[in-house]
Amino acid sequence: MGFEWIKIPYSLLTLFIVVNYGLLLNALIAKIAARVGRRHGIPIWQNYVDMIKNYGLRTSITHGVMFYMGPVFRLSGGVGLLLFVPTIYGSVMFSNLSFAGDLILALYFVFFGTLGMALGAGESGHPYAAIGVSRGLAQVTAAELPFALAVFAVALQYETLSVTEIVAAQQGSYLNWTLFTNPFAVAAAMLSFLGSMMRPPFDVVLAPQEIPIGPPTEYHSSYLALMQTNRAIFPIAKMVVYMNLFFGGAVSWPIFFVKIFLIYMVSVLVGVVFPRFHVEHSVRWFLIWAVPLGVIAVAIV
Amino acid sequence: MDKKTHKDPAKTSAELPSVDLNPPEVQPQKPPAPPAERTIELPEELRKRTVKGPGGVEIEVEPLRDYYCEAPPTVMPAAYSKIVEDLFNWARAESIWILGFGTGCGAIEMRPLMTPRYDAYRYGIQWRPTPRQANLFVISGYLSVKTLKRAIRSYEQMQNPKYVVGLGSCTINGGMYWDSYNTIKRLDEYLPVDLYITGCMPRPEALLAGFMDLKRMIRAGEAEGANKYAEYFDWYKANQKRVIKDWDMPDYSW
Amino acid sequence: MIELYEQLKQRYALGEISVQRFDLVFITVPRENLASLLLYLRDTEGFTHLVLLTAVDWIEDNKFQLTYLINNRESATDLGLRVIIDRDEASMESIHDLWPTAATYQRELKEMFGIDFPGSPRIDEDFILEGWTEIPPYRRDFDTLEYSRDTYLERPGRSTSDPAQHMKQLFYPEDKD
Ligand code: SF4
């Protein structure tokens, strides 16, 4: 099978849609949180303005090569994750490059951004960045564990590592979703999902009040704008993986939007209710609650 | 107030010896203070020293030279095309990120802006915890020399374009700290101020109105404080060094 | 409190006493007695809390007065011990071994009044002022107005009005006297 060049504009289109959706979704979430506090909240286009502003700053300084690479790695983590899983199942236009990579690659990309960030933030030499990074790595590693177990369970269950085939197996009725066929795996994965979304109670990595904002402390202007872009893409990409693995994928954009929104709301709702965990708390929490669920999920398949 | 302690204001002022707060020139001036005996030394970690590297290599370290980039700032031109610059100015005006650094009493009046009652977020105003990401530095009240030092460094770490708003009468002419041995009286001598908001304390509404004015200025491309700072860098530095007697930092911190 | 004073008087040489309130008393003590008195009051009489340590500049007498205010939580009473020291060679024994917090007060006094406390931790470091070159600013012969005029640039056009006169003008403009 030769490479179809038409896939490139198609993927770019996916990327474009996802970026915009991500920016709007983030603003919408902020707006909902503001409404809960009886505020007006930010305008829905605020994220765009902030990005233009950051790209438009006249000066920027660097701390070395890795400092440049940090945001780039992070962004490629998000983009890569997005492109190697089928965004819309059954659509030639939006299944992207999913033929080329499987679940393991996707797993790798989830971690990739954090690692890139660790390198970049380490180079900035700011102590808060270092604290943030070490917390982030500890927490992401702990959160990754149940997710990996859940993914193994799913892979065993469907006896494939291809995301497309996993989605295919879940079509038909919602009773075919992994959510119902293997609830333990989904539970473990959703707990891990909470941990990787950087929302309370697992936002000690950014911790705006104590270590100014953790890893990105030194980032500014275009670097920051790049990272903002990634903040739009990465959660969505991640949720696409979840949606594909556990919630039956999406066959059209409206279903995609709704499902992503609902998955996102899970972490938001948990976030507004619970206060922040310490890193050691959250690591322990993942090991005690999420990992056994993952083990059960693998065991019963 | 209780009756006994309440005095007729007129009577009180009559009892008080009249204090002339602005002595005329004819008053005999005290001789100038003798030159300082105490010479101020750089703190240990900033002094020039030799360190032993691995393998016994001796390395001369001069921290202020080696660890910081001291190159003075340069005037940054606007974007080439007017349309692009206008777009950027619009974005800058609509997305003002304030550095979360409170210097005086005024810091307390900034907080209500985040609350549901005033909710500055709806105007695109946010607080950022690091100077690298902030565009607006609100000097919220009196600035002691010690704080001025930190304020200068924070300001210099912000990225061009950046704005400074002076809050309260203390930043304008010293306010009620006009005779203090430790607070500066005119902020614009030390940092390029775009806008002053008067009052002691200004109400949050006044702050919001001030921010709206600032937005208008940014939009019109008038708020070029960072370039002004770069252009008159020597003048600002001279003023700063006159009051900060123990200058133990790089001349410009990037 | 008076009983305490009488009782202390039998053991220590004490100066005059001034009773401010029933629960606040100041006693002047000679400087040699201070440390032992404080130790006794802390360990035996229950004055466990050092509220503050501050100084007064009696420039006319060429003296500094140090005030050690201690508090007894049980009986909710405060006792101030006043020590008069010489102004020219202002120096006093440190009490940081009785209350570690005293070291901070002593640093401040060193900086603001120039009173030395030999042996107190970090006594020579800058406390609030950084790079101060004049005489310590809380000494009364330091002219803060003049200093601020010389050092900090002023904005012209500042005017000052007497608050009482101003309010009178505002509310009773017809009332002339
Ligand atoms: S202007 Fe008034 S409120 Fe503001 S810092 Fe000065 S004294 Fe405080």
Are B10 and C164 an interchain contact pair (Cβ–Cβ within 8 Å)? yes
Asked if residue B138 has its Cβ within 6 Å of ligand 1, the reply is no
User: Locate tokens 């202007």: which residue?
Assistant: A221
Q: In what order do the strands lie in the sheet with B195-197?
A: B125-128, B96-99, B136-140, B163-167, B195-197
Query: Which of A58, A209, A217, A223 best tests the B interface by mutation, with the highest count of B CBs <10 A?
Result: A58
| Within a domain: C171 | no
Highest-confidence segment of A155-164, B224-233, C67-76: C67-76
| Within a domain: C165 | no
| Within a domain: C159 | no
Which residues lie closer than 8 Å to B167 by C-beta, 6 or more apart?
B104, B106, B109, B110, B138, B139, B140, B141, B196, B197, B202, B207, B210
Nearest residue (CA) to ligand 1, atom 8:
B105
Better-scored residue on pLDDT, B1 or A216: A216
Question: What are the pLDDT digits (tens) for C119-144?
Answer: 888 888 888 888 788 888 999 999 88
Q: Which residues of chain B have a CB within 8 Å of the CB of A220?
A: 132-133, 159
Query: What is the domain count for chain C?
Result: 1
Distance B224 CA to ligand 1 centre (A): 26
Q: What does pLDDT average to over chain A?
A: 77
Asked if residue B197 has its Cβ within 6 Å of ligand 1, the reply is no
Query: What is the domain count for chain A?
Result: 1
Q: Cα–Cα distance between A132 and A300 in angstroms, integer? A: 37
A221-233 burial, b at 16+ Cβ within 10 Å, e below that, comes to bbbbbbbbbbbbb
ipTM for this model: 0.77
Tokens of C67: 């005030």
Contact between chain A and chain C (3 or more Cβ pairs less than 8 Å apart): no
| Within a domain: C164 | no
Which chains neighbour B (Cβ–Cβ under 8 Å, 3 or more pairs)? A, C
Q: Cα–Cα distance between A168 and A193 in angstroms, integer? A: 23
B33: phi > 0 → left, psi -120 to 50 → alpha, else beta; which?
Answer: beta
Instruction: Please name every residue paired with C25 in a beta bridge, in sequence order, or none if there are none.
Output: C19, C79
Report the Cα–Cα distance between both ends of chain C, in Å, rounded: 50
| Within a domain: C129 | yes
Q: Do the bridges between strand B96-99 and strand B125-128 make them parallel or antiparallel, or are there none, so unpaired?
A: parallel
Distance B104 CA to ligand 1 centre (A): 7
CATH number at residue C37: 3.30.460.80
Task: Give the 3-state secondary structure of residue C153.
Answer: coil
Chain C contacts in chain B segment 34-73 (CB below 8 A): 36-38, 40
Average pLDDT of span A155-184: 78
- Tell me the three-class secondary structure of A22-67, residue by residue: HHHHHHHHHHHHHHHCCCCCCCCCHHHHHHHHHHCCCCCCCCCHHH
| Within a domain: C160 | no
Q: Which chain A residue lies closest to B96 (C-alpha atoms)?
A: A50
Count CA atoms closer than 13 A to A17's CA, side-chain side.
17
| Within a domain: A46 | yes
Are B159 and A208 an interchain contact pair (Cβ–Cβ within 8 Å)? no
Q: Cα–Cα distance between A27 and A231 in angstroms, integer? A: 11
Are B92 and A50 an interchain contact pair (Cβ–Cβ within 8 Å)? no
Are A208 and B129 an interchain contact pair (Cβ–Cβ within 8 Å)? yes
Are C153 and B239 an interchain contact pair (Cβ–Cβ within 8 Å)? yes
CA distance C150 to chain B (A): 9
Question: What are the pLDDT digits (tens) for A80-111?
Answer: 888 777 777 766 666 666 555 677 777 777 77
| Within a domain: C59 | yes
Q: Cα–Cα distance between A275 and B227 in angstroms, integer? A: 43
B24-52 burial, b at 16+ Cβ within 10 Å, e below that, comes to eeeeeeeeeeeeeeeeeeeeeebeeeeee
| Within a domain: A223 | yes
Highest-confidence segment of A68-77, A242-251, B173-182, C43-52: C43-52
Are A39 and B119 an interchain contact pair (Cβ–Cβ within 8 Å)? yes
Q: Which chain B residue lies closest to A224 (C-alpha atoms)?
A: B133
Which residue of B76, B87, B130 is in closest CB contact with A52? Answer: B87
The pLDDT, as a whole number, for residue C81 is 92
Contact between chain B and chain C (3 or more Cβ pairs less than 8 Å apart): yes
Which chains neighbour C (Cβ–Cβ under 8 Å, 3 or more pairs)? B
Highest-confidence segment of A206-215, A222-231, A236-245, C24-33: C24-33
Distance A157 CA to ligand 1 centre (A): 68
Residue B254 has pLDDT above 80, yes or no: no
Are A53 and B116 an interchain contact pair (Cβ–Cβ within 8 Å)? no
Residue B2 has pLDDT above 50, yes or no: no
Q: Which range marks the domain in which residue C99 is found?
A: 2-154
Tokens of A3: 């490479």
Which residues lie closer than 8 Å to C47 by C-beta, 6 or more apart?
C41, C70, C71, C72, C79
Better-scored residue on pLDDT, A272 or C42: C42
Average pLDDT of span B193-197: 91
Q: How many CB atoms lie within 10 A of CB A257?
A: 15
Tokens of B22: 């602005």
Q: Which range marks the domain in which residue A169 is found?
A: 7-300
The pLDDT, as a whole number, for residue A10 is 79
| Within a domain: A259 | yes
Q: Which chain B residue lies closest to C158 (C-alpha atoms)?
A: B173
Tokens of C18: 């001034």
Q: Which atom of ligand 1 is nearest to the CA of B169?
A: 1
Q: Which residues of chain B have a CB within 8 Å of the CB of A50?
A: 91, 95, 124
CA distance A232 to chain B (A): 18
Question: What are the pLDDT digits (tens) for A22-41?
Answer: 888 888 888 887 888 788 88
Lowest average pLDDT, out of A103-112, A291-300, C91-100, C155-164, goes to A103-112
| Within a domain: C170 | no
Q: Cα–Cα distance between A220 and B45 in angstroms, integer? A: 28
Are B122 and A43 an interchain contact pair (Cβ–Cβ within 8 Å)? yes
Are C160 and B22 an interchain contact pair (Cβ–Cβ within 8 Å)? yes
Q: Which chain B residue lies closest to C146 (C-alpha atoms)?
A: B179
Confidence class for position A265, pLDDT limits 50, 70, 90: confident
Q: Cα–Cα distance between C45 and C63 in angstroms, integer? A: 30
Task: Give the 3-state secondary structure of residue B167.
Answer: strand
Distance A69 CA to ligand 1 centre (A): 45
Average pLDDT of span C72-82: 92
Lowest average pLDDT, out of A144-153, B138-147, B197-206, C49-58, goes to A144-153
Asked if residue B200 has its Cβ within 6 Å of ligand 1, the reply is yes
Q: Which chain B residue lies closest to A39 (C-alpha atoms)?
A: B116
For A50, B113, B239, the CA distances from B209, given in Å and listed in that order, are: 21, 12, 30
- In chain B the domains, ranked by start, together with CATH numbers, are 78-243 (3.40.50.12280)
Better-scored residue on pLDDT, B91 or A71: B91
Question: What are the pLDDT digits (tens) for B45-104?
Answer: 666 666 666 666 666 666 666 666 667 777 777 777 888 888 888 888 888 889 888 888
Instruction: Please name every residue paired with C103 in a beta bridge, in sequence order, or none if there are none.
Output: none
